[in-house]
Chains A and B, each alone.
Chain A
Amino acid sequence: MIRVLRRSPIVSGIVGLVVLAAFYEVAVKAAARLVGEIWYRQVECRLVDDHASLVPPRGNRLWGMYRPEIPWNYQRYYTIADSLDIVPSLLSWYQAWGDGPDHEFKTDAVEKSTKAGLVSMVTWEPWLSAFHHGAVLDPESCMVHVARGEFDPYIRSWARAVVRSREPVLVRPMHELGNPWYGWSSPHGNSPRIQIEAWRHIVALFREEGARNAAFVWTPYDALDTLAWPGREWVDWIGLDIFNYGTMVPGGQWVDFKTLLDHQLEPVKQFGKPVILAEVGTTGFGGDRTDWWRDAFLALGNGSYPEVRAVVIFDNPACINSTGIPVDWGFSRAQGVLKTLRPLLGQAGFRRPGPGAESFSPI
C-alpha cells in the first residue's frame, strides 16, 4: 500500500485529501463542538445577568412601548418619552417561530437596545406552520408537537442566542392563550394540559441552556386561561393585554381601563407574580382617547394596583385586526394625550429623567 502511494504521488495526494476531509468531518467537527460546548458552558453562561434584576422596586414601574419601527429605530420613541418626561425602559416587538433568518433571535437588535439602556420584550409566537422543515400545518392541538420536543433545536438556538446577548430579556411565548386568532390557543384544541406541557418544555429548555437572563411572561386571554397556569416556578411575569375596542364592532361598548384591568387582573392575582401590561391600547370609537388614557394612569397612580410593575403601550396607528379592518391604536399622534399624561406619570411610578433616575435601571 505504502509503496503504491509512494510510486504514485497523485493517487497518494487524492487519498490523503479524502482521508483528511473525512478526518475533518468526523474528528475536527466533534472536537470543535466539544470546545464550543465547553466555552459556552464555562464562559458564555457565566457572563449572563439574572433576569431578577428586571423587577423594579416597589412603587416604581417600567415604561415600555411597541411601535412598528421598533426595534430598529428609536427616534419616535425618544420623542414621545421626552414629551412625557419619562425614562423609557422597555421595547416590545413580535417574532414568529420558523427556520428562516427572520425567525432567528434578533441578537443585533438586542445589542442595539442594550446600548440604549433598553430591555427587550419579545413576543414569541409559535406559528408552527412557518417552518420549511417539520412544519405543523394543522393548528388542532399543535402545541403537542412542541411539548414532544419536535422543535427543540429551534428553541435551544433561541436560548443560546439569549444567553449570548447577556442582558435580561423578557420572552413572551404563546401569548393570549385563549385567543382564537392564534394557532396555539385553546379554541384550536390546545387544552390547558397541552399548553402547560408545552410551556414547561420551552422554559425547561431555556434553563438547560443556562438562559438565566430570560424572564418568561405568561399571558392569559380570559379567566378560563387560569386553568393553563404552569405553576409558580415556571413563570416570571404575568402579562395582560388590555384593549378597548369601543363601539368598533356591532354591540360593542366603550370600556374604561380600570374595568378592563380589574376583569383581567382578578383571576391571576392569586399567582403572586409581578404583572406587566404587555399591550395597552384604545380606539377612538365611542369615546375620547385622551380621557381613556388619563383615567388609566390616574388609576395606576392611586395605589390600587401594586402588582402592575410595567406598562407597555401598544402604539400602532394602523394595526390590521382579525376582521381585516385597519384599526387605529395610535397613542402618541394626538398631542392632547401626551400633554395630559405628562403630569400624571410621576405619581404612577414611572421614572423621570434626572439625577437618581438610574437607581432602578433594569440594565
Chain B
Amino acid sequence: MGSSDDSSATIRVRHAGRQREIEPRVPWRERVEMLLLAALGVQAFLFFSEYWFFSTSRRSPILFWLLTLAVFWNPLRNLYNWWVYLWASHPLDLRRDGKEPPLGGRIADVLTTAMPGEPYPMFEATLEAVSRLEHLNKAYLLDGGDDPALRELCERLGVEHLDCRGVKGAKAGKVNLCLRERSRAEFVLVIDPDHIPRPDFLTRTLPWFEDPETGFVQVVQAYHNLRENWVAWGAAEQTFGFYGSTQMGLNGLGIPTAIGANCTFRRAALDSIGGHAEHLAEDALTSMRLHAEGWNSTYLPWRGSEGLVPTDLGTYWKQQLKWATGMSYLMFAEVPKLFRRFDPVARLHYVASSTYYLGGVAQALNLVLPIVCLLFQVYGVEMPLSGFLVHLAPYVLVSALMHAIAQRWYTHREEKGIPWRSMLLERATWHVHLLGFVFGAIGRKVPYLPTPKEGSDKPIPWLVAPHWAIILLSVLAILWVPVHYQRIDDGTWLMVFFAGLNSLLLLPAAWLGIRGWFPGFPSVEVAS
C-alpha cells in the first residue's frame, strides 16, 4: 500500500470550526417565507415564459425550440427544486413529541473499502476514528489489494481485515461479500476510506431506525479539504445545496436518497433487494431499489463525517463522468423497470434526479447555438437584449433570494455565500455531462474507479480543448458580426450577448486546465 514516504505523512484534517456548525430545523415561519417566495418565483417564471413564447420574436422553429431547451432547462429544474424545498424538514420536525427516539441498544458494523494505490495515512486516520465509534459492533476493512501494511494496521486497531482481491462489482461487491460471509449485525454503516467519522456517528443515526420500516439513515457528507483551491471549494459548494435544502426536502417527502460515502443501512433492507446494488451509480440505485421495495429513509442534517473532495479539474471531471454515466444509465435502464413500484413522489423524484445530466445537452446547445446563429446569420428568436434581460430579471432575482433563504438549512456557516465557484464549475463541466449522458444512453461501460484522493496540477489540454474551441469560436462569431453584417439587429445582439457570456464563464476552467504550462503564474487559492 503506497510508497514508504507515505507512511510518514499524515492526513491533514482542516476543521472549519465545529462551533460554527448548524443542525438546521425548519420553523413554520421559514416554511411560509419559502412558500411565498416560491409563489413569487412561479410568477416571475411565467412572466419570462410569456415573453419568450408569446412575443412576436420567434423565427426558425427548429432553432427556436433548441434554444428554448437551452434557456429553459435550468429554470424548469429550479421549479422542481423549489417544490422539494417546500417540504424541507429535520427528522425532529416530523415527530409529534419533537424528541429524538431512544437508541434501544442498537449496534452496527462498519464497512470500509480499500483499493490499491490509495494513501496509507488516509486509512490510518479513518480506521482510528472508526475503531473509536460508540455503539460499534465490529469494523471491517474490505481490501481490494490485500496490502500487508493495511493488514498490520487493522490488527493494531482491532479492525477485521478482509481480503477482497478479485471481487467484482467494485465497492458494492466487497460490501456484499462481507455481508454474506462475515458481518452479522442488524445495522451496517458503509463509509468511504477518506471519511473520518465522528465518535458519536452511530449514536446519532441508530435511534432513527426506531421505525421498523426505515431502511437507511443518511447524514451530511462534509469535506475537510475544501479550502485547498477553488476547484475543491466549487465541487464542495455543489453539494451544499444537496445536503442542505434538497435532502431535507426529500426527508419531508419521505425519500431522502442514500449517498455511498456514509450511509447506515438496515441489514434486512439490503437483504430484501439482494444486497447493495453493484453499479456505477450504486448509491442511487440502492436507494431506488429500497424505495421501490417500500422501505422508508431518514436524512439527518448533521455532519457525521468529513471526507475529501476533488481538488483538480481532471479528478473532478472523472468523478462527474462516473456519476453522469451512472445516472443516465439508470434513467434509461433502471428507472423504467422500477417505475411502477415507486410511489408517486418517488416516481417524480427519480425521474427528475436521473435526468439531471440531460443538462449536459442543454448546456452544449447553449454554447453552440449562439455561434451557429452568428456565423450563419440565422435566428431562433429576435428579441431585444434589453427585453430579454428585463423579463428574465425578476426570475433571476427570486431564484437568488430563494438560494439565499435555502442557505439557512446549510450545515455550516462557512457554506453560506454566493456560490460563484460552483456555478463556474458546473458550466465548465458541460462536456463531461454531455459525454456521460451519451455513454448512459448507448450503454457504454465506464470503468468504476474510486475517486482519486490526491490532486495534481498537471495540464489537461485535451480535457479543456472543447472549452477553448467554444471560446475561440464564440469570439470569432462575435467579431464576424461587424465585418459581415449589413445591419446589427435585436436577434444578433442577443446572440452576441450569449456568446460573450459563454466565453467569459468558460474562461476560468479553460485557463486552469493549461495553467501547468505557465509555471510563472500563481495558482488560484481560495481566500479564507
A residues within 8 Å of B by Cβ? 8-10, 13, 16-17, 20-21, 23-24, 28, 72, 101
Tell me which of B42, B46, B348 contacts A10 (CB under 8 A): B348
Roughly how many angstroms separate A13 CA and B344 CA in the complex, as a whole number? 12
- Given contacts A20-B39, A20-B42, A101-B56, are A10 and B345 in contact (CB under 8 A)? yes
Which residues of A sit under 8 angstroms from B375, Cβ to Cβ? none
Interface size counted on chain B using CB atoms at 8 A: 13
Residues 31-70 of B at the A interface (beta carbon under 8 Å): 39, 42-43, 46-47, 56
Q: List 26 A-B contacts (CB under 8 A).
A: A8-B344, A9-B83, A9-B87, A9-B253, A9-B345, A10-B344, A10-B345, A10-B348, A13-B83, A17-B42, A20-B39, A20-B42, A20-B43, A21-B42, A21-B46, A23-B39, A23-B43, A24-B42, A24-B43, A24-B46, A24-B47, A28-B43, A28-B46, A28-B47, A72-B487, A101-B56
Chain B min CB distance to A206 (Å): 23
Q: Which residue of A lies closest to B489 (CB)?
A: A108
CB-CB < 8 A to B487: which residues of A?
Answer: 72
Residue of A nearest to B35 (CB): A16
Q: Which chain B residues lie closer than 8 Å to A24 at the CB level? A: 42-43, 46-47
A246 to B237, CA, bound (A): 82
* CB-nearest residue of chain B to A29: B50
Taking A9-B87, A24-B47 as known contacts, 20 extra A-B pairs with beta carbons closer than 8 A to each other, sorted by chain A number, are A8-B344, A9-B83, A9-B253, A9-B345, A10-B344, A10-B345, A13-B83, A16-B39, A17-B42, A20-B39, A20-B42, A21-B42, A23-B39, A23-B43, A24-B42, A24-B43, A28-B43, A28-B46, A28-B47, A101-B56
Q: How far is the CA of A28 from the CA of B46 in the complex (A)?
A: 10
Chain A residues with CB below 8 A from B83, complex form: 9, 13
Cα A20 to Cα B83 in complex, Å, equals 13
List of B residues within 8 angstroms of A8 by Cβ: 344
Total cross-chain contacts (CB, 8 A): 28
Interface centre among B46, B56, B345, B487 (most CB of A within 10 A): B46
CB neighbors of A among B63-101 (8 A): 83, 87
Minimal Cβ-Cβ distance residue in B for A19: B39
**Smallest CB gap from A6: residue in B:** B87
Query: Chain B nearest CB: distance from A37 CB in Å?
Result: 17
In the complex, how many angstroms separate the beta carbon of A8 from the nearest chain B beta carbon?
8
Residues of B within 8 A of A23 (CB): 39, 43
Determine the chain A residues whose CB is within 8 A of the CB of B87 once the complex forms.
9
Q: How many Å from the CB of B257 to the closest CB on chain A?
A: 16
How long is the Cα–Cα vector from A72 to B489 in the complex, in angstroms? Answer: 12
Q: How many Å from the CB of A205 to the closest CB on chain B?
A: 22
Chain B residues whose CB sits within 8 angstroms of the CB of A20 once the complex forms: 39, 42-43, 46
Q: How far is the CA of A8 from the CA of B253 in the complex (A)?
A: 9
When C-beta atoms are compared, the residue in chain A nearest to B87 turns out to be A9
B9 → A minimal CB distance (Å): 49
A101 to B382, CA, bound (A): 12
Find residues 138-175 in chain B having any chain A CB closer than 8 Å to their own CB.
Answer: none
Shortest beta-carbon distance from B52 to chain A in Å: 14
- Using Cβ atoms and an 8 Å threshold, which residues of chain A touch B345? 9-10
Q: How far is the CB of A107 from chain B (nearest CB, A)?
A: 11
Q: Whose C-beta in chain A lies nearest to the C-beta of B348?
A: A10
CB distance from A31 to the nearest CB of B (A): 10
B residues in contact with A101, CB < 8 Å: 56
CA distance A24 to B345 in the complex (A): 26
* Complex Cα–Cα for A72 and B345 (A): 58
CA distance A101 to B491 in the complex (A): 15
In Å, the complex CA distance between A17 and B82 comes to 12
Across the interface, name the chain B residue whose C-beta is closest to A23: B43
Bound complex: CA A23 to CA B36 (Å): 13
- Interfacial chain A residues near B344, Cβ < 8 Å: 8, 10
A14 to chain B, nearest CB (A): 10
Tell me how far the C-beta of A124 lies from the nearest C-beta in chain B, rounded to whole angstroms.
20
Q: How far is the CA of A101 from the CA of B344 in the complex (A)?
A: 47
Q: Which residue of A lies closest to B487 (CB)?
A: A72
CA distance A13 to B345 in the complex (A): 11
Nearest A-chain residue to B253, judged by Cβ:
A9
CB-CB < 8 A to A21: which residues of B? 42, 46
CA distance A20 to B42 in the complex (A): 7
Max chain B CB contacts within 10 Å: which of A9, A10, A17? Answer: A9
CA A20 to CA B41, docked complex, whole Å: 10
Q: Which of B316-357 contact A (CB under 8 A)?
A: 344-345, 348
Give the distance in Å from the alpha carbon of A125 to the alpha carbon of B157 in the complex: 95
Residues of A within 8 A of B43 (CB): 20, 23-24, 28
Smallest CB-CB A-B distances: 5 pairs: A20-B42, A24-B46, A13-B83, A10-B344, A24-B43
Shortest Cβ distance from residue B345 to the other chain A in the assembled complex, whole angstroms? 6
Q: Which residues of A contact B348 (CB under 8 A)?
A: 10
Smallest Cβ-Cβ distance to B40: which chain A residue = A20
Task: Chain A residues near B39: list those with CB within 8 A.
Answer: 16, 20, 23
Smallest CB gap from A10: residue in B: B344
A13 to B84, CA, bound (A): 10
Cα of A31 to Cα of B347 in the assembled complex, Å = 38
- For the complex, give the distance between the alpha carbons of A21 and B47 in Å: 10
A9 and B345 CA atoms in complex are apart in Å by 7
Residue-by-residue, is B487-501 near A (CB-CB < 8 Å gives 1, otherwise 0)? 100000000000000
Give the Cβ gap from A339 to chain B, nearest Cβ, in Å: 32
Question: Which residue of chain B lies nearest to A32 when distances are taken between CB atoms in the complex?
Answer: B47
Q: Which interface residue of A13, A16, A17, A28 has the most chain B CB atoms within 10 A? A: A13
**Alpha-carbon distance A16/B46, docked complex (angstroms):** 14
A65 to chain B: closest CB distance in Å?
21
In angstroms, Cα B87 to Cα A16, docked, is 14
Query: How distant is B453 from chain A, measured CB to nearest CB, in Å?
Result: 38
Which A-chain residue is minimally distant from B56 (CB atoms)?
A101
Tell me, in angstroms, the Cα distance from A28 to B48 when the chains sit together: 13
- In chain B, what residue has the closest Cβ to A104? B56
Over the window 379-403 of chain B, the binary record of Cβ atoms lying under 8 Å from chain A Cβ atoms (1 yes, 0 no) is 0000000000000000000000000
In the complex, what residues of B have CB within 8 A of residue A17's CB?
42
Q: Shortest distance in angstroms between A110's beta carbon and chain B's nearest beta carbon? A: 16
Name the CB-closest residue of B to A17: B42
Residue of B nearest to A21 (CB): B46
Q: Chain A: which residue is nearest B42 at the CB level?
A: A20
A72 contact set on B, CB distance < 8 A:
487
Report how far A164 CA is from B21 CA in the complex, Å. Answer: 55
Complex-state Cα separation, A21 to B42, whole angstroms = 8
